Structures are given as C-alpha cells and as structure tokens.
Amino acid sequence: MWDQLISALLFPGLLVIILSRISYNRFVGLALTIILIAVSARLGFTNTWYLIILDAISMTAGFILATHMLTRLRQSGREW
C-alpha cells in the first residue's frame, strides 16, 4: 500500500518532466502521461480514487516544473 502511494506521488510527475524534455512541449508530455495513467487504470493497476487523485496532484506538480524547465531552456538558447 505504501509503495503505491509513493509511486503515485513520484512517477507521474517525473514522467511529465521526462516526456516534456524529450518532446520540448509540456502539453505533449502531460497528454502522454494522462494516456498512460488512463491505460493503467483501465488495466486495474490504479484501483482506488485516492491513487487517481495522487496521480493528478503529481502530474500537476510535474507540469509546473516542466513549464519552468522549458522556460529556462528556451531563455538559455540550448533548445536544440
């Protein structure tokens, strides 16, 4: 149970950041993460509402961090 809570708090946010960094678009990273979370919920890996809420909180935090990361990246001129 605790491993699910910790995973729900960490992994979706990290996934948003990593996918945003790969695609250079925070909306693409968020959309891909939402798709992956929806598939895992459909397959039964996310089976309670509090895990879904923790996933949403983590994705929101990851989206905010990805926004700051991509803004700094564009300002420094190292986009490509």
**Cβ neighbours of residue 38 under 8 Å, at least 6 residues apart?**
none
- What band does 17 get if pLDDT is binned at 50, 70 and 90? very high
Rounded Cα distance, 2 and 75, in Å:
40
Residue that the structure tokens 């909180």 belong to: 57
Q: Give the separation between CA 28 and CA 67, rounded to whole angstroms.
A: 12
Q: Token pair of 26, please?
A: 């925070």
| Whether the predicted pLDDT of 79 surpasses 70 | no
pLDDT attached to residue 16: 93
pLDDT tens-digit map of 19-78: 998 988 989 999 999 999 889 888 888 878 888 899 999 999 999 999 998 888 888 876
